[in-house]
Structure 1
């Protein structure tokens, strides 16, 4: 089978980048630098979410489904530098040439990874291949919005209409899956400041499992999987999660409705 790599990232405001762009002295704390940028953003855009290129990646979590089975994990170590985390992700694409699956990956995760890779001088030749080295990639690559080598489920299910976008948490719960448990993206900066990186990684991992489960329903809907095959895949995921340590997986399994 073609390996399937579901991914999700968690980010915080890039205090170092803001300091560089706006000339804040070292005596100004990271929290103060970020708050100044958020205030300016609220005044100019009506919300305080900083643009993609000023998002620093602090976690990348993945589900890999391949002939070897099912695996969910976060890349690298909790204190690993951003550049190393991102390079690990693209090295995985280089190694497996997987089908990438995301929820809003085309709108957020991948643009962030592009900008941060550019900043750190990283390389990702397989990911950026548009057919120059492999002709198959001319008509099916990771970059084109309408190709399936990367499926942004949120974008595709909405038929590329932003007014039809659905939150992953809501759709997962409507399908009987657990959805988000105790944290969401708006709480990551606060958790990071408090040193709760393990919680951020746990949250990111549950999100990629949610995405994988919704993807299996999508595969059933489009006829790639039969109903029985989809249920077998759900059973495989349940069995794998039952073997994992961590309270988040116990809570996740408890919130997963029977038969979903």
Structure 2
């Protein structure tokens, strides 16, 4: 089978970038830098969600499905550099040329990876190939919106209509899967600065699994998977997570009392 890489990012404000662009002194504490930026953003646009190029990548969560099975993890450790996380993501693409699957990856995760990779000088030739090096990429590449090397499942299910987008958490729960547990994206920065990096990483991993489960349901709907194959994929995920001795997976499985079967 073609390897499949499911991915999700968690981000925090780029404090040093904000200092540089605003000319703020190094003596200004990080917390004040962020609050100033949030306040300016709220005044300008009515919310404090920073522009994508100022979203520093704290976590890259990935699940990988290939002939060897299903694995889920974060790239690197909590103390590794942002550049290392970005490089690790693109190196996976260089090595395996996987199909990418995301939820809102076209609207958020990939543009953030583009900007932050540019800032750090990360090379990603396979990812950016649009047919110059590999003719197959002319008609199926990672960049073009309607190509299948990257499936933004949120975008696709909404028929590329932003007004029809659905939240992953709600859709996963409606399909019988656990959805988000104990945290959402708005809490990531506070948790990270409070020293709870492992909680943020765990949250990102569970979101990746939610995306994969909903994607499996989509493949069943499309007819790519038979009902038996779908059941096997769901069982593989459950068995893989049950074999990992981590609190967040025990909590996740406890919130998933059945296999998330389609309604009759």
State the 1:257 CA deviation.
Answer: 3.6
Match of 2:87 in 1: 87
Residue ranges of structure 1 left out of the alignment (5+ in a row): none
Question: What is the deviation of 1:259?
Answer: 3.4
Instruction: State the partner residue of 1:43.
Output: 43
Q: Distance in 1 between matches of 2:62 and 2:173?
A: 20
The corresponding residue for 1:145 is 145
1:127 corresponding residue in structure 2: 127
In 2: Cα distance, 1:259 partner to 1:121 partner: 43
Equivalent-residue separation in structure 1 for 2:257 and 2:48 (angstroms): 36
Q: Return the alpha-carbon distance in structure 1 between the equivalents of residues 189 and 47 of structure 2.
A: 16
- SS class of match (2:61): strand
Answer yes or no: is the 8 Å Cα contact 2:74–2:205 preserved in 1: yes
| Aligned twin of 2:179 | 179
Gaps spanning 5+ residues in structure 2: where? none
- TM-score for both structures, normalised by structure 2: 0.98
1:21-32 equivalence runs, <5 A? 21-32=21-32
SS of the aligned residue for 2:200 comes to helix
Give 4+ residue runs of structure 1 displaced > 3 Å after superposition. Answer: none
- Which position in structure 2 is the counterpart of 1:166? 166
- Deviations along 1:189-225, one digit per CA (max 9) or x if unpaired, are 0011101111110000000000000000000111100
Q: TM-score, normalised by structure 1?
A: 0.99
Residues paired across the two proteins, number = 260
For the pair 1:18 / 2:18, whether they are aligned, the reply is yes
Q: Over aligned residues, Cα RMSD in angstroms? A: 0.6
Equivalent residue for 1:194? 194
Determine the structure 1 residue equivalent to 2:156: 156
> Does structure 1 conserve the Cα–Cα contact (< 8 Å) formed by 2:41 and 2:50?
yes
Q: State the distance in 2 between where 1:42 and 1:32 align.
A: 15
